[in-house]
């Protein structure tokens, strides 16, 4: 029997190495929309993961539950606890603070997104991706979509200071083939793709993967189709009370990666930053 204090998400991550390919596929579906995915019927969950109902039962038992109903009961308890736990709700705001209802509602949604993004982040994937991006033998290419282009540009601006061989691809797909010519097993392609997912980015990822490049995907909670191609996928919650999605969760992961990459390349990045500052002083670009 599983202790009530154990979190299903932690059980899934802890037992990842013991799962069969079908069980890992099911685990990914459960974690992708956690804990809601596990609250649907066993038939619908199996269909969503493209596995059989017996696979769902086997996974539940492998996690220490008697069966799927007991696993669902644990997920319901977690969902209930999450609803009861305030994230900057009324009692969480500084006493006496006055904000417009619109601002407060938006802020609550953003903090909820950040919490869900952190909960879904896989530490092993984060460390492995940071290792690839810190390896100066690898050339890094970055590309974003219509909305996420600014996220790619932000990541690029920091990476090019920290390390050499970093390229931000043009917004025009017409020039991508000449960059694909240079991609290979020593390349890393970082792609930002949230709904509505862009077909051009999917083709770029497919061609880069065929060349042997490592694909790092920054996407939303539903997951871009590029997830099927990517070596490392980071899902961020993006929904807010607006016509536009929020990319603050994505930038949280990006800034954490920047910090980790710089830490791994501290001496080299420190030398580059000092050299850059010397050039700024020489050229007097920032005179008063």
CATH no. for residue 186?
3.40.50.10490
Continuous segment of H or E residues that includes residue 214: strand 214-220
Residue pair 62/15 in contact by the 8 Å Cβ criterion: yes
**4: pLDDT confidence band, cut at 50, 70 and 90?**
very low
Residue 146 forms part of a structural domain: yes
- Of 109, 217, 195, the closest CA to residue 147 belongs to 195
Q: Are residues 190 and 264 in the same domain?
A: yes
- Of 251, 261, 284, 282, the closest CA to residue 166 belongs to 261
Instruction: Give the mean pLDDT of 47-72.
Output: 91
The whole-chain average pLDDT of the chain stands at 87
Q: Are residues 154 and 250 in the same domain?
A: yes
Start-to-end CA span in the chain (Å): 69
Q: CA dihedral in degrees (33, 116, 249, 144; nearest 10)?
A: -10
pLDDT at 88: 41
Q: Which residues pair with 187 in a beta bridge?
A: 139
Residue 271 forms part of a structural domain: yes
Q: Kindly tell me if the per-residue pLDDT of 5 is higher than 80.
A: no
Q: Are residues 140 and 269 in the same domain?
A: yes
Residue 116 forms part of a structural domain: no
Q: Are residues 135 and 245 in the same domain?
A: yes
- Whole-model pTM above 0.75? no
Q: Are residues 77 and 25 in the same domain?
A: yes
Residue 12 forms part of a structural domain: yes
Percent share of the chain, pLDDT over 90 = 54
Highest mean pLDDT out of 18-32, 67-81, 148-162: 148-162
Q: Kindly tell me if the per-residue pLDDT of 153 is higher than 80.
A: yes
Least confident range from 38-52, 154-168, 263-277: namely 263-277
Q: Are residues 161 and 28 in the same domain?
A: no
Q: Are residues 127 and 235 in the same domain?
A: yes
Q: Are residues 270 and 127 in the same domain?
A: yes
- Domain end position, chosen among 34, 65, 83: 83
- Over residues 70-96, the pLDDT tens digits come to 998 888 887 666 544 444 444 555 566
Q: Kindly tell me if the per-residue pLDDT of 199 is higher than 50.
A: yes
Which tokens hold the place of 229?
Answer: 């191609």
Q: Which residues pair with 220 in a beta bridge?
A: 236
- Domain interval for residue 76: 8-83
Least confident range from 74-78, 112-116, 148-152, 226-230: namely 74-78
Distance between CA 112 and CA 244 in Å, rounded? 16
Q: Are residues 134 and 216 in the same domain?
A: yes
What's 49's domain CATH number?
1.10.10.10
Integer angstrom CA distances of residue 94 from 85, 104, 112, 123, 130: 17, 12, 17, 32, 36
Q: Are residues 65 and 131 in the same domain?
A: no
pLDDT at 86: 40
pLDDT at 181: 95
Q: Are residues 167 and 252 in the same domain?
A: yes
- Domain end position, chosen among 83, 98, 115: 83
Integer angstrom CA distances of residue 65 from 2, 3, 75, 176, 211: 6, 10, 12, 49, 43
pLDDT at 164: 93
Q: Are residues 61 and 129 in the same domain?
A: no
Please tell me the total count of domains within the chain: 2
Give the largest Cα separation in the chain, rounded.
71
């Amino acid at each position: 029997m599983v202790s009530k204090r154990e979190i299903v998400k932690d059980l899934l991550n802890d037992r990842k190495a013991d799962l069969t390919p079908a069980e890992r596929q099911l685990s990914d579906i459960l974690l992708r929309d956690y804990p809601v995915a596990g609250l649907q019927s066993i038939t619908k969950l199996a269909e969503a993961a493209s596995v059989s109902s017996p696979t769902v039962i086997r996974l539940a038992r492998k996690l220490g539950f008697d069966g799927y109903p007991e696993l669902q009961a644990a997920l319901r308890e977690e969902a209930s606890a999450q609803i009861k736990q305030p994230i900057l709700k009324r009692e969480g705001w500084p006493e006496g603070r006055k904000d417009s209802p619109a601002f407060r509602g938006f802020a609550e949604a953003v903090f909820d997104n950040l919490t869900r993004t952190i909960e879904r982040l896989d530490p092993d994937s984060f460390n492995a991706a940071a290792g690839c991006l810190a390896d100066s033998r690898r050339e890094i290419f970055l590309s974003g979509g219509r909305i996420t282009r600014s996220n790619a540009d932000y990541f690029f601006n920091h990476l090019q200071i920290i390390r050499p061989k970093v390229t931000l691809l043009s917004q025009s797909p017409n020039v991508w083939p000449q960059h694909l010519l240079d991609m290979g097993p020593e390349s890393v392609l970082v792609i930002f793709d949230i709904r509505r997912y862009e077909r051009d980015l999917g083709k770029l990822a497919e061609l880069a993967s065929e060349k042997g490049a490592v694909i790092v995907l920054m996407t939303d909670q539903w997951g871009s189709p590029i997830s099927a191609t990517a070596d490392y996928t980071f899902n961020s919650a993006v929904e807010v009370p607006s016509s536009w999605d929020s990319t603050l969760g994505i930038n949280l992961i990006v800034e954490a990666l920047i910090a980790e990459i710089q830490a791994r390349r501290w001496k080299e990045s420190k030398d580059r930053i000092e050299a850059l500052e010397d050039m700024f002083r020489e050229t007097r670009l920032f005179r008063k």
